[in-house]
Chains A and B, each alone.
Chain A
Amino acid sequence: MSLLNIFDIAGSAMTAQSQRLNVVSSNLANADSITSSDGQPYRARQVVFQEQALGGATGSGVSVIRVIEDPSPGRRVYDPKNALADGEGYVTQTNVNVVDEMVNMISAARAYQNNVDIMNTAKTLMLKTLTLGQ
């Protein structure tokens, strides 16, 4: 029954979007981190979505194929009294752009809601189909 596939499709999208939300929250939490466990400043991470074929079905879901690190340079702030300042007195902070992350968060939340609606509609249709002829 092809309506059942909608649960897989919308479910995969919800998983992917929540993963994106997870990455966004990690970025926002570290928006002011100066250093991380490896001594380098934290780098913003982004998820990469890919279409994911479901076995035998025509419709396709979505999955996160990898998480990439933003290669752009971090912000440099002049703060000579900081213990991590370099020879010129600058501290390299993260390259997290808070505005970008907020936009990303709203986008992920909306996409998640859309998929919840899709799943609810499919469920309603299936339940109505089960009461067919009564």
Chain B
Amino acid sequence: MNGLDQLIQFHQHALNLRAFRQQLLASNVANADTPGYKARDIDFAAALRDAAEGRGTGGLALGSSDARHLNGTRADEPAAVLYRGVQQPSIDGNTVDMDVERSRFAENAVHYEANLAFITAQIKLMQAALQG
């Protein structure tokens, strides 16, 4: 891998995780009134560490004795999906807390934009170095 890739690779991982998390938080808000729905989220710090070190989703892997065995983790998910702790349980089994979800959603959106700004700045930096 060359230096140009490495320069923005970390931010690429972060952006991927932010987009994934945004999707999960949108699902939580969409299912705010669904009986039995459990709010989901990811551990962002752990997921980013795993992604930066190339460890995959960070979930528990199944043991296998053959290379062709299924590995038991979903390859299309960039992070292990966890259930959020319940703060105010409701009688229909739904654990979505709208204040929490909205604040996390807003926070995640700001972080996403921050990541975009970082990448733009890195690209500008590299262009400046290339053009002299």
Which A residues form the contact surface with B (CB < 8 A)?
1-3, 5-6, 9-10, 12-13, 17, 20, 48-51, 56-62, 107, 111, 114-115, 118, 121-122, 124-125, 128-129, 132-134
* Smallest CB separation, B19 vs chain A (Å): 5
Give the complex CA separation of A129 and B113 in angstroms: 8
Question: When the two chains form their complex, are residues B23 and A62 in contact, meaning their CB atoms are under 8 A apart?
Answer: no
Question: When the two chains form their complex, are residues B29 and A13 in contact, meaning their CB atoms are under 8 A apart?
Answer: yes
Number of residue pairs spanning A and B whose beta carbons lie under 8 angstroms apart:
96
Residues in A whose Cβ lies below 8 Å from that of B22:
2-3, 6, 122, 125
* A128 partner, pick from B24, B102, B105, B113, beta carbons under 8 A: B113
Residues in A whose Cβ lies below 8 Å from that of B32:
111, 114
Give how many B residues have a beta carbon under 8 Å from the other chain's beta carbons: 32
Give me 26 A-to-B residue pairs in the complex whose CB atoms sit less than 8 angstroms apart, sorted by A's number: A2-B16, A3-B23, A13-B30, A17-B33, A49-B31, A50-B34, A51-B31, A57-B23, A58-B74, A59-B26, A60-B31, A61-B31, A62-B33, A115-B29, A118-B26, A121-B105, A121-B109, A122-B26, A125-B109, A125-B113, A128-B113, A129-B116, A132-B116, A133-B119, A133-B120, A134-B120
